[in-house]
Amino acid sequence: MTPDERGDLIRSVSCHVSAKRMEHILRVEALAVKLAQSWGISVEKASTAALLHDVAREESLSTMTALVQRSDDPWIRDLAQTPAPLVLHAPAGAVIAKQHYGVSDPAILRAIAWHTTGAPGMGHLAMIIFLADYCEPGRHFRGVGRVRTLLYTSLEASMFQALTQTLAYLRHNGLPVDKHTEAAAAYFSRLVEHVPPPAAQP
Ligand SMILES: [Fe+2]
Ligand SMILES: [Fe+2]
């Protein structure tokens, strides 16, 4: 993506979201790019996924539902069953990225679609977008600092910590939990159990 293409993408996304939301999107992009550089994955993909991750955030529930239900991708349609309506903007964003912005890379589409719930088997790009959205400097909720301290040590441990905190928050407040979030927490719990602890410092 050239600087001009990035500028065009930002201008286009700005037409669909508030100025405040656009500031959040740009903070997510900045952190996602930093994480992509640190973890050795494509900065361009991180930038594209971050700029588009909330493109559907201010669409109506009926628009988002229609987009997700009519998707060609079964793993996107699966998210239409969510009991948490807030989740829908993520798969709807992936549909818009594909249909209106010509994004065909499955890693970018999955990163957008799973940025709210997480999912088992997330790749590096999907973890980075999820975590950049969770940890961008505009976030100030309890526990965010704990995840920030893990970002450059282990993406999997960061995911496990973030998902555990999210599930605790949702359950404590009696809010609906999407099955992808529960499955992702179980997946990262198994992964983290198998990651050897860092070697003791001499
Ligand atoms: Fe979002
Ligand atoms: Fe976001």
- Residue of higher predicted confidence among 143 and 199: 143
Q: What is the pLDDT of residues 125-171, one digit of tens each?
A: 999 999 999 999 999 999 999 999 999 999 999 999 999 999 999 99
CA of 141 to the centre of ligand 1 (A): 16
pLDDT bucket at 1, cuts 50 / 70 / 90: confident
Cβ-Cβ contacts under 8 Å for 80 (sequence gap 6 or more): 65, 68, 69, 88, 91
For residue 160, give the 3-state DSSP assignment.
helix
Q: Which ligand is nearest to the CA of 116?
A: 1
In a domain, 31, yes or no: yes
Q: For residue 51, what are its two tokens? A: 């700029």
What is the domain extent for residue 16?
A: 3-193
Q: What's the Cα-to-Cα distance from 156 to each of 34, 107, 194, 199, rounded to whole Å? A: 17, 17, 11, 18
Compute, in degrees rounded to 10, the torsion defined by CA atoms 59, 65, 68, 71: -110
Q: For residue 16, what are its two tokens? A: 């669909």
In a domain, 200, yes or no: no
Q: Which ligand is nearest to the CA of 139?
A: 2
CA of 114 to the centre of ligand 1 (A): 9
Please tell me the distance from the alpha carbon of residue 154 to that of residue 152, in angstroms, as a whole number: 6
CATH code for position 189: 1.10.3210.10
The answer to whether 170 and 104 have CB atoms below 8 angstroms apart is no
In a domain, 118, yes or no: yes
pLDDT over 60 (residue 201):
no
In a domain, 49, yes or no: yes
Q: Quick one: DSSP state of residue 20?
A: H
Check residue 199 and give its pLDDT: 62
CA of 89 to the centre of ligand 1 (A): 7
Angle between the 43-52 and 106-113 helix axes, to the nearest 10 degrees?
A: 40
CA of 144 to the centre of ligand 2 (A): 15
CA of 141 to the centre of ligand 2 (A): 14
In a domain, 23, yes or no: yes
In a domain, 202, yes or no: no
- Residue of higher predicted confidence among 81 and 126: 126
Q: Which ligand is nearest to the CA of 115?
A: 1
Check residue 193 and give its pLDDT: 85
pLDDT over 70 (residue 14):
yes
Total domains in the chain come to 1
Q: Which ligand is nearest to the CA of 134?
A: 2
Q: What is the pLDDT of residues 86-121, one digit of tens each?
A: 999 999 999 999 999 999 999 999 999 999 999 999
In a domain, 51, yes or no: yes
CA of 15 to the centre of ligand 1 (A): 17
In a domain, 198, yes or no: no
